[in-house]
Amino acid sequence: MNKKIARKADTWILDGNRAAAQGAKLSRVQVIAAYPITPQSPVTERLSEFVEKRELDAQYIAVESEHSALAVCTSASMVGARTFTATSSHGLAYMHEMLHWAAGARLPVVLACVNRAIGAPWNVLNDQQDSVSQRDTGWIQVYARNNQEILDSIIQAYRIAESIYVPVMVCYDGYVLSHTEMPVDVPSQEAVDRFLPRYKPHTILDPANPKNYNLVTLANPRINAEGVLCHGYMELRYLLQEALQNSRETIVKVGQEFGELFGRSYASMFWEDRLDDADVVIVAMGSLAMEAIVAADMLREGGHKVGVLGLRVFRPFPKAELARALEKSRLVVIFDKNISYGLEGATCSEIKSALYGSPARAVIRDFIVGLGGRDVKAREMADAVKRSLLSVNEGDLNREYAEWICAI
């Protein structure tokens, strides 16, 4: 069969939420628990519809809160079911305790986070404060630039999560992606089945072989009834960190295999656009990375050698890879749709820490943009880069705080 034609026939027009729901469906999730919140709500509705129409053989649990949604997922995952949930903003914040729990218990739950600002004051529009605030919960975080990446990332998320027993959060920008329709190549169920084997849990819940999970665990290793020394709390935490550190390999390998099967490769922790000859690099995460490409086009027209680095995986943070990719640049301009209050944008801090001790010598500028759905125009990004270049040329090096692109 002609591969190209097959792919063309499977191109659907989907908004981001439908792409996410399709991704979960194709992954044959078995237990779904979710609670509606703008702009994620259509994901819950689509999945309920799949289940009611029997297009998807899954248990849909209409829980009363996000905290319970993730609690349902963790326990169902312990029984051995593949689980899915989706949320945004306050819902993700409400899950905070359970995010830690899922990662601590090493459960391969997959969560779609439709990025939205967080109150007070109320705001339902897009920024990335919600998921960035959860970066230390032990989850892998993947950010999609477009709706195709949402669908593809969810399918890959299960492969990644279930091979290393670490939960994965697939993040995509509210409205910008969630409610914007784009062509999406929807793979066949058979192809996804080939890519994604059945979930094999590491937990056993069987009266014939009774085990207690997540008991009180002391800091130090302790001997069990057979005299075997078992991990203390500290060792368990180390193992989670080690899993996250090593997950880079898995993420890239899974992304590569996905590419071989579906023709779209994800064999990298970030997207690169014209980095080869760039002495100025724009860094952004999620759909903003697409806007950055337009800004780079404008700057190139003006004779500036500008490239774009679109962060795809925020946790684990690709330190070494980034340091290598940014080695030749003179200036790195970062656009953050989040703010770590009292410091700067989170991706800026991470990139600085990645470059420290590496041969990279770039000056770093951080711009806080797009909070609460404030439009980020390519023209504004290009201007910010030009301003940065000008001041750097005048000897004004790294600044203590980020600049905000807003009216103050």
Partner 1 sequence: MPNGYVLFEGDYAMKTTAVNITEKEYLLPGNRTCPGCALSLAYRYILKALEGQVIVTVPASCLTVLHGMYPVTSVTVPCVNTPFATTAASATGLVAGLKALGKEGLTVLAVAGDGGTHDIGIQALSAAAERQTDFLYICYDNEGYMNTGNQRSGSTPLGAISGTTPIVGKQQNQKDIAAIMEAHGIPYVATANASYPLDLYEKVRKAKMIRGTRFIHVFVPCSPGWGFPFSETIKIGRLAVETGWVILYEVEDGVFRLTSASESIAEKSNLKPLREYLVEQGRFKNITEEQIGILQRWVNARWKRCLDRAGDSQS
Given the rule CB under 8 A, which residues bind partner 1? 30-31, 33, 58-59, 61-65, 67-69, 71-81, 83, 97-98, 101, 204-207, 209-218, 222-225, 228, 230
Helix or strand holding residue 379 (H, E): helix 378-393
Q: Smallest gap, in angstroms, from Cβ of residue 57 to partner 1?
A: 8
Residue placing its CB nearer to partner 1 in the complex, 228 or 407: 228
Q: Smallest gap, in angstroms, from Cβ of residue 212 to partner 1?
A: 4
197 DSSP assignment = P
Residue placing its CB nearer to partner 1 in the complex, 28 or 179: 28
Residue placing its CB nearer to partner 1 in the complex, 72 or 309: 72
Residue placing its CB nearer to partner 1 in the complex, 30 or 147: 30
Q: Smallest gap, in angstroms, from Cβ of residue 266 to partner 1?
A: 28
Q: Smallest gap, in angstroms, from Cβ of residue 73 to partner 1?
A: 6
Q: Smallest gap, in angstroms, from Cβ of residue 205 to partner 1?
A: 4
Q: Do residues 116 and 89 lie in contact, with contact meaning Cβ atoms separated by under 8 Å?
A: yes
Helix or strand holding residue 83 (H, E): strand 83-87
- Beta bridge pairs of residue 209: 206
User: What is the amino acid identity at position 179?
Assistant: H
Q: Smallest gap, in angstroms, from Cβ of residue 52 to partner 1?
A: 15
Q: Is 345 helix (H, G, I), strand (E, B) or coil?
A: coil
Residue placing its CB nearer to partner 1 in the complex, 158 or 271: 158
Adjacency order of strands within the sheet including 331-336: 270-273, 306-311, 280-285, 331-336, 363-368, 403-404
CA distance 211 to 204: 7
CA atoms within 13 A on the CB side of 249: 6
Q: Do residues 161 and 112 lie in contact, with contact meaning Cβ atoms separated by under 8 Å?
A: no
